[in-house]
Amino acid sequence: MPAPADAPTALKARFPQVTDRASLDHPAVNVPAADLPAVLKYLRDEFAFDMLADVTAIDWAEGVSPRFTVVYHLLSTTSHAYLRLAANCASDAAPEVPSVVSLWPGANWHEREVYDMFGIKFAGHPDLRRILMWDEYPHFPLRKEFPLAGIETPLPDAAVVAETGAKAIAAPMMGGPFVAAPGEINLTEAEPRAKDESWSERREKPE
Q: What is the pLDDT of residues 63-75, one digit of tens each?
A: 999 999 999 999 9
Quick one: DSSP state of residue 188?
Answer: T
Question: Do 46 and 89 share a domain, yes or no?
Answer: yes
Q: Which amino acid is at 29?
A: V
Q: Write the CATH number for 47.
A: 3.30.460.80
Given a cut of 50, is residue 187 above it in pLDDT? no
Question: Do 32 and 72 share a domain, yes or no?
Answer: yes
Question: Do 42 and 112 share a domain, yes or no?
Answer: yes
Domain count, the chain: 2
Instruction: Encode pLDDT of 35-52 as tens digits.
Output: 999 999 999 999 999 999
24 and 107 Cβ atoms separated by less than 8 Å: no
Question: Do 25 and 119 share a domain, yes or no?
Answer: yes
Task: Find residue 71's DSSP bridge partners.
Answer: 56, 86
pLDDT value for 157 = 63
For residue 162, with 0-12 CB atoms within 10 Å meaning exposed, 13-18 middle and 19 or more buried, which class applies?
Answer: exposed
> What residues have CB less than 8 Å from 2, skipping those under 6 apart?
10, 46, 47
Domain boundaries, position 63: 4-123
Question: Do 69 and 113 share a domain, yes or no?
Answer: yes
Given a cut of 50, is residue 136 above it in pLDDT? yes
Question: Do 101 and 194 share a domain, yes or no?
Answer: no
pLDDT value for 177 = 46
Cα 74 from Cα 192, distance rounded (Å) = 32
Given a cut of 90, is residue 11 above it in pLDDT? yes
Question: Do 25 and 117 share a domain, yes or no?
Answer: yes
Is 142 within the bounds of a domain? Answer: no
Question: Do 157 and 68 share a domain, yes or no?
Answer: no
Nearest to 133 by CA among 121, 152, 115, 159: 115
The pLDDT > 70 percentage for the chain reads 74
Is 192 within the bounds of a domain? Answer: yes
Report the pLDDT averaged over residues 91-116: 97
Question: Do 38 and 108 share a domain, yes or no?
Answer: yes
Single residue among 123, 143, 178 that ends a domain in this structure: 123
Is 141 within the bounds of a domain? Answer: no
Question: Do 110 and 198 share a domain, yes or no?
Answer: no
199 and 141 Cβ atoms separated by less than 8 Å: no
Task: Find residue 80's DSSP bridge partners.
Answer: none
Question: Do 97 and 162 share a domain, yes or no?
Answer: no
Is 188 within the bounds of a domain? Answer: yes
pLDDT value for 148 = 79
Cα 178 from Cα 196, distance rounded (Å) = 9
Q: How confident is the model at residue 151 (pLDDT cuts 50, 70, 90)?
A: confident
Cα 193 from Cα 48, distance rounded (Å) = 42
> What residues have CB less than 8 Å from 29, skipping those under 6 apart?
8, 11, 12, 18, 19, 20, 21, 83, 84, 85, 86
Task: Determine the Cα angle at 88 with ends 116 and 111, to 5°.
Answer: 30
Is 147 within the bounds of a domain? Answer: no
Is 29 within the bounds of a domain? Answer: yes
Question: Do 19 and 107 share a domain, yes or no?
Answer: yes
